[in-house]
Amino acid sequence: MNMIAPESTRGVSARPPVRWRLCWENDLELADHIELSDFFQKTYGPTGEFNAKPFEGHRSWAGARPEIRAIGYDDRGVAIHIAALRRFIKIGQTDLLVAELGLYGVRPDLEGLGITHSIRVMYPVLRDLGVPFGFGTVRAALQKHITRLLGRQGLATILPGLRVRSARPDIYLTVPPTRVEDVVGLVLPIARPMSEWPAGEMIERNGPEL
């Protein structure tokens, strides 16, 4: 899949439309990785001292590598990015196939536009992938923000108070190979209704975060 899907920045003046490119990971060229690496360093750098470090050396991923990406471009280059990876997570005793959403980024001048546009673009992609649910996590501090942008618009169900255990992408002698984080979950019912999402507050990711 490698296509351009136009998406206008409706309601916002003086901003050109964002053109969406949907592509599998194998379709990315070296120039794409270099451009995305620069985008992520500039986007994540201001959020914390070490947040841009995973993207050094022209890496366009931080932990697990995605399977498919939605990349939004405007006349200044990469504007918005979100990615997905199909994987099984475990909730209690239930193994559940999801498309994990992650690697979200939006250029600072477009803050407030990106996440709702990204999720709308990803919905048909997830339907084509045939997954029961889309799943993502954000920091607990972003609960009100993400509820306003996604929950109240019916784009995702917000699940506060989750704990997710993930494998670290690298091995260090001074820390355990896994970590547990308190997060807010985002669930997108795709092929199954939200009523079939398993009950439980502890989720085993069984791999690095996307």
Is 11 part of any domain? no
What whole-number distance in Å separates Cα of residue 139 and Cα of residue 178?
Answer: 18
Range of the domain at 195: 19-204
What confidence score (pLDDT) does residue 6 get?
45
Is 12 part of any domain? no
Is 100 part of any domain? yes
pLDDT at 113 over 80: no
pLDDT at 8 over 50: no
CA atoms within 13 A on the CB side of 37: 15
What whole-number distance in Å separates Cα of residue 73 and Cα of residue 30?
Answer: 17
Is 56 part of any domain? yes
Domain holding 179: CATH number? 3.40.630.30
Of the pLDDT bands very low, low, confident and very high (cuts 50, 70, 90), residue 149 is: confident
Of the pLDDT bands very low, low, confident and very high (cuts 50, 70, 90), residue 16 is: low
Is 198 part of any domain? yes
Helix segments in the chain, DSSP class H: 30-44, 114-129, 143-146
Count the domains in the chain.
Answer: 1
Is 7 part of any domain? no
Of the pLDDT bands very low, low, confident and very high (cuts 50, 70, 90), residue 11 is: very low
Amino acid at 69: R
Q: What is the pLDDT of residues 171-208, one digit of tens each?
A: 999 999 999 999 999 999 999 999 999 999 999 999 99
